Amino acid sequence: MIEDEMVDNTTKDKIKKTNTQDDSFPQTIDFSQSFTHRVYKKKTILFFVLLLFLILLPLLYFFSVRAPESFPVKSTVTIEKGATLIDITKKLKSENVIRSQFLFYSTVIILDGEKSANAGDYYLYEKEGVFSIAYRISSGKFGLTPTVIRIPEGLNNRETALFLSNSINNFDMTKFLSLAKNDEGYLFPDTYHFLPNVSEKEVYKTMKKTFNLRLGEISDEVNSFIKDSGNPAKYSIKDIITMASIIELEASDFKTKQEISGVLWNRIKINMPLQVDASFAYLLGKGTSQLSLEDLEIDSPYNTYKNVGLPPGPISNPSLSSILAAVTPTKSDYLYYLADKNGKTYFSRTFIEHVRKKGVYIK
């Protein structure tokens, strides 16, 4: 009993000692309160970060992303072959294509464009932001869609230059006319596909080349006409194109063109003045209804009322059908023709017959 009591007392002492030690520590820890505090703190930080981002985003766009005010709309920027990304970045900044060099450079790097930036001409049709410019240069989106230009038949070089200046941005009429000063009649009227940044020289060379190619299509007829004109040849390519340039302004359908060609060659054969009003459109810029008696007396080699034979050179750029009509004239003994208000042409052998028809059909 004494031993049991001693054991019991010893156990009580241990329990008491243990309880005494435990009293120095908290009995429980409230982890939920600490976690809630941390979550609240993170949410607060995130809120202010987002708020700062929303404030800075418009500023970033305004000062770095959007196109500069003086962005070169409807112009071309050229990226030279071998240019480094730094060179390209500086060039775009200096030409007011981008606002931020850093943003452009970084975007191209992200797009893996440092090695794949494509050299060439980039057409800037409208204002574009830095990301769009970076993407285009990284992927080679040149933006050069050919412009379809239908150049009418019968325009002289000055009229052609004016037409082109109204069809192509920044087209220099003076430069074009300087290139074509000796090629009146030899710039072929056709449908062309020119890039927006095409040069005056390229347009000139293309039209001249097209003339030579198309003339080659009827080379047999041209050579046959020249051969039949005599030995040595009485007529040259220049004579043929000059005649075609007149015919172009006198008729529209091929059959009538051939008939008028026959009349005009007949007049030349007998040294009779051509007396075509079309030459005055070239000389004075006047149509038939605008001509006065004083105009018909003008002293000029292009005055076909006063001079015998062809004018010194072409007065328009003729179509292929007019050139073909010039070398395949309808054989007849007609020397006169006139057209009514509907465009129908009437032919006569004598002046008396011509006057009579004029009284009937021209009112």
* Each residue's pLDDT tens digit, 77-86: 888 888 889 9
Q: Which of 357, 329, 315 is nearest to 269 (CA)?
A: 329
| Amino acid code (one letter) for 128 | E
Asked which of 17-26, 122-131, 135-144 is least confident by mean pLDDT, the reply is: 17-26
Report how far residue 92's alpha carbon sits from residue 109's, in angstroms, rounded to the nearest whole number.
16
Amino acid (one-letter) located at 196: P
Residue 289 in this model has a pLDDT that exceeds 70? no
Q: What is the pTM of this model?
A: 0.68
Q: Give the distance, in angstroms, between the CA of residue 288 and the centroid of all CA atoms in the same chain.
A: 35
Tokens representing residue 106 in the block: 């970084």
**Extended beta strands in the chain, E state:** 75-79, 120-124, 147-150, 191-194, 336-339, 345-348
Residue pointed to by tokens 């009437």 = 346
CB neighbour class for 26 (10 Å; exposed up to 12, middle 13-18, buried from 19): exposed
pLDDT digits (tens, 9 = 90+) for 20-76: 444 444 555 555 556 565 666 676 777 667 656 666 556 555 545 778 889 998 788
Cis amide bond preceding 232, omega within 30: yes
Residue 27, C-beta contacts closer than 8 angstroms, at least 6 positions apart: none
Cβ atoms 345, 272 nearer than 8 A:
no
Collapsing DSSP to helix, strand or coil, 84 comes out as coil
The sign of the torsion formed by the CA atoms of 213, 218, 224, 229 equals negative
**3 state SS of 348:** strand
What does the pLDDT look like over 145-195, one tens digit per residue? Answer: 788 999 999 999 999 999 999 999 889 999 999 999 999 999 999 999 998
- pLDDT band, very low/low/confident/very high, at 277 (cuts 50, 70, 90): confident
37 three-state secondary structure:
helix
Name the most confidently modeled range: 25-34, 120-129, 322-331.
Answer: 322-331
Question: What average pLDDT does the chain have?
Answer: 84
